[in-house]
Structure 1
Amino acid sequence: MPLSIPVAPFQGDADLPKQTEVVVIGGGIVGVMTALTLAERGVPVVLCEKGVIGGEQSARNWGWVRQLGRDAAEIPLAIASRDLWRGMNARIGAETGFRETGISYLCYDRADLETWGAWHAKGAAAGVETEMLDAKQAQALLPGAQPGLLGALHCASDGRAEPWLATTAMAEAARRAGARILTGCAVRTVETAAGRVSGVVTERGAIACSQVVLAGGVWSRLFAGNLGIDFPQLRVIGTVARVTGVSGLNDMPVGASHFAYRKRLDGDYSIALRNANITPILPDNFRLMGEYLPSLVTAWRELRLRIGPDFVQELRMPRHWTGDAPTPFERIRTLDPAPTRPFIRKALENLRQAFPAFAQARVVQEWAGVMDVTPDAVPVAGPIASLPGFFIASGCSGHGFGIGPAMGQLTADLITGATPIVDPAPFSIARLRPKLAQAA
């Protein structure tokens, strides 16, 4: 069955290698960038993806590459990733859609001004060059905007890239650099010897290796749980649409409290209802409720709780298995949830009021993606000391596309012992699971 989004085609390798140095589990942008960086450094690496490269959230996001609005812990990673995006097309010899267009967050009331004014000060202290624009400056920056703006937070060095294109282009570059990339090849489990990683078992057979990176996005908690690793992670579903018939706006992605838009490489626009996501009620919501309550208190206006057939499906899904039988990763190759159409209708209504250029906009495509969210909405990148040789690079909390290049390089740095691109301490599993950061 075709996916609800187009993803640039990628043909995986036909043969299963018998051994390598590193196996990366997951063909999203974080896993692909980990494999690319390792391959460029001469490290033998095999990437295994249960479905298609970039088929889940890496191709379903807004396509923003931003430093604006990041958590303080994540700002260095966002800055480093922006720098990597700047040279990505030249590095991989292909088009990712990256353009350094700037990004603006618009202020329509005093609360917006206070929120983004406070972040402006925080960002400046962390090295992000932003401007807090007044009403006149914001209006001048945004030709076509209706009157009513009180100001905007603007970062000229932010930009955009094309989700459906970028990850597969990076994967082709990784293969040219020497990585082996397998699609339609789920990893079932990890094998150990003498208390450390010794290989993986895939649906096609075993691969001997000394190190494994779990970059499985929303699937990471399930996979890690089978190894006795309790990785805290919940799911949030975001909806996006592509609209055509818009002209007269500049190339900059723009967000406000009630809409977001990005000009695409094909000239159309991707739009969304900002601060509106679905949180499906699943068994893990109850298992992890205590850890997520603090963030729910502050973010409850952005989330719509929903209970449906997914609850029963998750309840019936096995949480433990061996490597000699099919796993949940083979039963569900790609998560392709239905979009929430009322969100798109409302986003388009809001955009038409703010920018007359959207008056004749027509929706030509809608889709949804599942984000993997940690309790503090900050990713995890680093080793799991209780299982030597095993690394997790996941939990990007809806930020993975923008920060993916630096997440991949940080993971490769930790594997090879290179100087980390950023301080890895804020991304250690230790902040969420101290025992997993301690050697067994």
Structure 2
Amino acid sequence: MSPPVDPVSSSPALPPRADVVVIGGGIVGVSTALALLRKGHSVVLCEKGRIGGEQSSRNWGWCRAMGRDSREIPLIQESLRIWSGLDQVAGQDLGFRKCGIVYLCETEAEMQGYEPWLEHARQHQIGSRLITAKEVQDVLPGLARKVAGALYTRTDARAEPAVAAPAIARALQSLGGTVMTECAARSVETAAGRVSGVVTEKGRIACDAVVLAGGSWSRFFAGNLGFDLPQLKVLGSVLRTKPLEGGPESSAAGSDFAFRKRADGGYTVAHGGLSTAEITPDSFRLFGAFLPALRKEWRGIRLHLGQQFLTEMRWKRRWKADEVTPFEQIRVLDPVPDNRLLDQAMANLRKAHPAFAGVVEAQRWGGLIDVTPDAVPVISNVAALPGFFIATGFSGHGFGLGPGAGRLMADLVAGDTPIVDPAPFRFSRFSDGSKVTVEAGF
């Protein structure tokens, strides 16, 4: 079941032309479209279902610099700066608060394991630090679990996933941008070897550039154009509680639970230590590309063979612009959560913190996270097709990175000086002989 998401009304008509068409109405797509519009470009955003309907509203709601892959740190720092002023741009409270985030350590070995990453934190002046068990009690009063200490970043933040992408989309509309919902993009047209338009289920839009920000759907769309985008899906399972008095303000994760306080007074809860990898036909096609990541992160992955395999096995992988696509057959991906993980998470959280002992669960949901072989996103042009750009594969980091990623993508499309070095996010790293490296993430 989908979490409640703020609605966005579709713009009344599909324009015949725009400078840029953005495909996908998640946090990255709407942020890209808004950044382009503010640069003076006319923009149409096409979303096959509803704005923020998939992973952009189903994530934990963390906006963190702590624990990022070192290649992402400059981008998350810029993104957090954008987040801090986004309420004024969107004209709405997005729930962005610098609440601090805590990674609990049960042993001294875990504490020491964070030291290599802290070198990155010091280099970029993030402010992360190791704190003692006593200091953990100051940040998370009442914690009953015995810990050796924690990694803590006071300036890390939270925001409301169900509010953010819709609010940015409405801001886009108010500034003259077009947002088409229930409008799947089917294909990209070319002329003289470059992008010339997009064919949607509601008609054609002539344009000079296209940004594919389709989340878990991006591999299918790119594949129909002849581009092999290495991307798989991980099932994220999340629940929310009813309002709770006396709970912690800071967000936290242990080995077997994670939580964030919500604007409604409840909490978003997940396992924290385990994720579920959906086995699909692409799992076999991309096994070699993802093997390094699997070797490094296998302890945190549960493999699951279920309905998603059969669903994707039936999907067409090639189609013409006048044919119905998988995007129209499934408007919103709404997977069943891994209830076993969520049961464990709630039981562990209740034991770890007395404030949660009597908390009432309100809802559960699943979401499919788009992941790349190195767990670093693609934010890039595609050299083989001038005018075509991809912003996807955020590997569970997309909500926090979204505003910064949208700005970087807009810079690349516009030909402006990029907000950060885009080289780590180039699409060509998967095909130009570069060694694809996986950092130990947390």
TM-score (normalised: structure 1): 0.96
Deviation digits for residues 377-433 of structure 1, max 9, x if unmatched? Answer: 000001001000000000000110000000000000011122211111111112112
Deviation digits for residues 180-227 of structure 1, max 9, x if unmatched? Answer: 110000000000000000000000110000100000000000000000
Contact 2:247–2:356 at 8 Å: present in 1 too? no
Query: How far apart in 2 are the matches of 1:129 and 1:98?
Result: 19
Q: Does 1:153 align with 2:151?
A: yes
Segment drifting more, 305-314 vs 195-204? 305-314
Amino acid corresponding to residue 221 of structure 1 in structure 2: R
Report the CA distance shift for 1:207/1:435 in structure 2 as closer, same or farther (over 3 A).
farther
Query: How far apart in 2 are the matches of 1:177 and 1:63?
Result: 26
The partner residue of 2:429 within 404, 407, 431 is 431
Q: Does 1:370 align with 2:368?
A: yes
Which secondary structure state, in structure 2, belongs to the residue aligned with residue 30 of structure 1?
helix
Which secondary structure state, in structure 2, belongs to the residue aligned with residue 257 of structure 1?
coil
Amino acid corresponding to residue 339 of structure 2 in structure 1: R
Query: How far apart in 2 are the matches of 1:192 and 1:98?
Result: 41
Trace 1:51-70 onto structure 2 (pairs within 5 A). 51-70=49-68
Report the CA distance shift for 1:204/1:245 in structure 2 as closer, same or farther (over 3 A).
closer
Which secondary structure state, in structure 1, belongs to the residue aligned with residue 195 of structure 2?
strand
Amino acid corresponding to residue 8 of structure 2 in structure 1: F
Equivalence for 2:262: 264
Deviation at 1:277, TM superposition (A): 1.4
Which secondary structure state, in structure 1, belongs to the residue aligned with residue 114 of structure 2?
helix
Equivalence for 2:391: 393
Query: How far apart in 1 are the matches of 2:110 and 2:255?
Result: 8
Equivalence for 1:182: 180
Amino acid corresponding to residue 334 of structure 1 in structure 2: V
Equivalence for 1:322: 320
Equivalence for 1:213: 211
Which secondary structure state, in structure 1, belongs to the residue aligned with residue 16 of structure 2?
coil
Equivalence for 2:96: 98
Amino acid corresponding to residue 261 of structure 1 in structure 2: F
Contact 2:243–2:264 at 8 Å: present in 1 too? no
Deviation digits for residues 344-383 of structure 1, max 9, x if unmatched? Answer: 1111111112111010012110001000000000000010
Contact 1:117–1:153 at 8 Å: present in 2 too? no
Deviation at 1:245, TM superposition (A): 5.4
Query: How far apart in 2 are the matches of 1:191 and 1:435?
Result: 29
Amino acid corresponding to residue 273 of structure 2 in structure 1: N
Equivalence for 1:46: 44
Root-mean-square deviation (CA, aligned residues, Å) is 1.3
Query: How far apart in 2 are the matches of 1:121 and 1:354?
Result: 30
Deviation at 1:281, TM superposition (A): 1.1
The partner residue of 1:34 within 29, 32, 46 is 32
Runs of 4 or more above 6 Å deviation: none
Segment drifting more, 94-103 vs 16-25? 94-103
Deviation digits for residues 309-330 of structure 1, max 9, x if unmatched? Answer: 3222212211111111111110
Structure 2 residue ranges without an equivalent (≥5): 435-442
Contact 2:139–2:250 at 8 Å: present in 1 too? no
Equivalence for 2:440: none
The partner residue of 2:126 within 121, 128, 132 is 128
Query: How far apart in 1 are the matches of 2:305 and 2:338?
Result: 14
Equivalence for 2:403: 405
Report the CA distance shift for 1:339/1:226 in structure 2 as closer, same or farther (over 3 A).
same
Report the CA distance shift for 1:305/1:162 in structure 2 as closer, same or farther (over 3 A).
same
Contact 1:245–1:358 at 8 Å: present in 2 too? no
Query: How far apart in 1 are the matches of 2:254 and 2:281?
Result: 33
Structure 1 residue ranges without an equivalent (≥5): none
The partner residue of 1:110 within 101, 108, 111 is 108
Equivalence for 1:276: 274
Amino acid corresponding to residue 168 of structure 2 in structure 1: M
The partner residue of 1:254 within 248, 252, 255 is 252
Equivalence for 1:203: 201
TM-score (normalised: structure 2): 0.96
Contact 2:274–2:302 at 8 Å: present in 1 too? yes
Query: How far apart in 2 are the matches of 1:209 and 1:130?
Result: 44
Deviation at 1:435, TM superposition (A): 8.8
Which secondary structure state, in structure 2, belongs to the residue aligned with residue 393 of structure 1?
strand
Equivalence for 2:356: 358
Contact 1:191–1:197 at 8 Å: present in 2 too? yes
